[in-house]
Amino acid sequence: MKKEFLAVYWREMIRFTRFKALLVSSLLQPALWMAFFGVAMSSSFNRLGAAVPPPPGVFAVEYLTFMGAGVIAMTTLFTSLFGGISLLFDKNWGLLREMLASPMPRTHIMVGVSLSGMTKSFIQVSIIMAFGLLIGVRFFPGYSPLQVLLAILGILAFVGVFSLGFLFLSSTIAISMESPEGLQGVITLLSLPLFFVSNALYPVDAFPPALRALSIVNPLTYLVTGIRYFAIGSDFFAIGTHYSFTAGDILVSFLALVLFALITYTMAWHTFRRAVIT
């Protein structure tokens, strides 16, 4: 059983490293997005936020740092949603039919692909954090080495659960689609609202009531909250808004992502169990 699971996992990782153009673009794109969009917008948002002074004793965060957590979440979202496309290619090339007909449990295929996608997300997140620190993102302000290590582990825990949830969802969609174009259209339709109806780039307090309600049920909102808590702190001021998180808030955010992952796992499990590839 273990060897079968590892075979699926390593096959996906080898595919990821062998496609050099895909590997380089997937690693550079979020870093460039942070560099160009973040640096360009930082001065504008900093000027807007300067009109509202921070409360006494509250740490003020520049927009580049505030947005850095959003870029990590954005990269995880896009990587996870596109993670199921390998299943669609295997389906169209006839490889998935052979895998489903083998004695290997179907859940091993689903989980192996998803865990490989989670590993890719970890690699990208590590690169983004390192690059962000180089261009002026102030993550882990005043943290000791032990606190930095614990914060990174906390970020990876949130990223891991979130990515698994969307990788299960992506696998469910991929196994039901017939063409890569159709899958890309569905993913684009999902990713843009999820990204912009969240707290990745700006506070949600100014949203209209309907969008604010959507942001509450948006898993990306909980991921960004967790990343900011570990990377910036539990009490800070950014873009004219005072952010204060308790350990209970972060636990609720994490449990919300766990619930989302369990729901999408159940969806993927039922889809794989009923899948018939001709």
Q: What is the CA radius of gyration of the chain?
A: 20
**Which residue matches tokens 């921070």?**
54
Return the pLDDT at 95. 67
Q: CB-based burial of residue 179 (10 Å sphere; 0-12 exposed, 13-18 middle, 19+ buried)?
A: exposed
Return the pLDDT at 172. 87
Give Dmax over CA atoms of the chain in angstroms: 66
| Contact criterion met (CB below 8 Å) for 48 and 203 | no
**Which residue matches tokens 């299960």?**
168
The overall average pLDDT reported for the chain is 83
What range does the domain containing 259 cover? 2-274
Dist CA 86 CA 145 (whole Å): 38
Residue-wise pLDDT for 218-241, tens only, equals 999 999 999 999 999 999 998 888
Instruction: Say whether 47 sits in a helix, a strand or coil.
Output: helix
| Contact criterion met (CB below 8 Å) for 30 and 73 | no
| Contact criterion met (CB below 8 Å) for 68 and 137 | yes
94, pLDDT greater than 80: no
Among the listed residues 107, 119, 109, the one whose alpha carbon sits nearest the alpha carbon of residue 16: 119
**Which residue matches tokens 């912009």?**
196
- Its pTM stands at 0.89
Dist CA 203 CA 193 (whole Å): 15
Among the listed residues 85, 8, 71, the one whose alpha carbon sits nearest the alpha carbon of residue 35: 71
Residue-wise pLDDT for 165-223, tens only, equals 999 998 888 887 777 777 778 888 888 899 989 998 888 888 888 999 999 999 999 99
Q: How many domains does the chain have?
A: 1
Kindly state the percentage of the chain with pLDDT values over 70: 84
Return the pLDDT at 46. 62
Q: How confident is the model at residue 1 (pLDDT cuts 50, 70, 90)?
A: very low
Residue-wise pLDDT for 31-67, tens only, equals 777 777 766 676 666 665 556 667 787 888 888 888 8
267, pLDDT greater than 60: yes
